[in-house]
């Protein structure tokens, strides 16, 4: 999971526009063609990609053109079960098609206790905006001191790792690769770092 990420914030105009659109008869929810809904969907995608450095909030693999994986607007509490939070930026993060897809997250219920105030609700999942992720998820090192093996430090940490399949062989190998690349990269001279960065375009 990515740490220290913030949700998009809505300007007062968009907020007012959305509230107005939602009150209109026949408002179609998430897929609404109302201008405010379209602007909202664009905003959460644009800000999310930027804030998350074009990486999936859960598995941290690159999304969009850079990663050849589709970027999804992922409702942390699924909108099918919690329609009241459909247009709440705190409930949306960018994820890849695999993490958001039916094999992993899909419509999985991630909430244990609903409160009228979103941030006072209790979640089963480690929440990317509301939780200190380091309290719930840790990494252990092997003999080569590569902290790539993920483990849960709390019940929610364990739940999140198992449901999102963050401990698969593929994900562990992927994390080890990234750590090794980062280490080698930091040893390079500045001009070589520039060359690598533009060749790989890995979002630094």
Which residue from 18, 21, 59, 146 is in contact with Zn ion, where contact means CB under 5 A?
59
Distance CA 193, CA 184 (A): 10
Per DSSP, helices labelled H in 24-118 are 35-51, 97-100
Q: Which helix (H) or strand (E) holds 183?
A: helix 169-187
99 belongs to the binding site for Zn ion (CB under 5 A): yes
Residue with smaller CB distance to Zn ion, 37 or 62: 62
Distance CA 159, CA 152 (A): 8
1 belongs to the binding site for Zn ion (CB under 5 A): no
125 belongs to the binding site for Zn ion (CB under 5 A): no
Residue 165 tokens, joined: 């399949």
Residue with smaller CB distance to Zn ion, 101 or 138: 101
| Only segment of 24-32, 52-60, 78-86, 125-133 that touches Zn ion (CB under 5 A) | 52-60
At closest approach, how far in Å is the CB of 60 from Zn ion?
7
Q: What is the DSSP letter of 127?
A: P
| Only segment of 30-38, 96-104, 125-133, 138-146 that touches Zn ion (CB under 5 A) | 96-104
At closest approach, how far in Å is the CB of 20 from Zn ion?
34
At closest approach, how far in Å is the CB of 7 from Zn ion?
18
Q: What angle do CA 75, 162, 95 make, to 5 degrees?
A: 30
Residue with smaller CB distance to Zn ion, 21 or 56: 56
Q: How many CB atoms lie within 10 A of CB 61?
A: 20
Q: What are phi and psi of 42, to 5 degrees?
A: -65, -45
Which residue from 44, 56, 71, 111 is in contact with Zn ion, where contact means CB under 5 A?
56
- CA 37, 43, 46, 51 torsion-angle sign: negative
Residue with smaller CB distance to Zn ion, 72 or 156: 72
96 belongs to the binding site for Zn ion (CB under 5 A): yes
Sort residue 145 into left (φ over 0), alpha (ψ -120 to 50) or beta. Answer: left
What residue ranges bind Zn ion (CB under 5 A)?
56, 58-59, 96, 99
């Amino acid at each position: 999971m990515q740490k220290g990420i913030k949700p998009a914030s809505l300007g007062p105009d968009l907020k007012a526009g959305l509230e107005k659109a939602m009150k209109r008869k026949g408002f179609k929810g998430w897929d609404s063609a109302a201008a405010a809904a379209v602007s909202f969907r664009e905003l959460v995608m644009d800000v999310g990609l930027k804030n998350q450095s074009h990486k999936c909030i859960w598995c941290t693999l690159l999304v969009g053109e850079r990663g050849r994986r589709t970027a999804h607007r992922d409702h942390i509490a699924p909108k099918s079960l919690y329609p009241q939070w459909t247009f709440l930026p705190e409930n949306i993060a960018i994820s890849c098609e695999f993490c958001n897809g039916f094999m992993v997250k899909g419509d999985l219920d991630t909430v244990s206790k609903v409160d009228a105030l979103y941030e006072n609700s209790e979640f089963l999942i480690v929440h990317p905006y509301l939780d200190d992720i380091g309290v719930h998820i840790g990494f252990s090192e092997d003999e080569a001191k590569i902290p790539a093996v993920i483990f849960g430090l709390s019940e929610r940490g364990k739940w999140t790792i198992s449901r999102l399949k963050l401990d698969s062989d593929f994900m562990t190998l992927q994390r080890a690769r990234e750590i090794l690349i980062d280490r080698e990269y930091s040893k390079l001279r500045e001009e070589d770092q520039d060359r690598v960065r533009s060749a790989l375009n890995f979002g630094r």
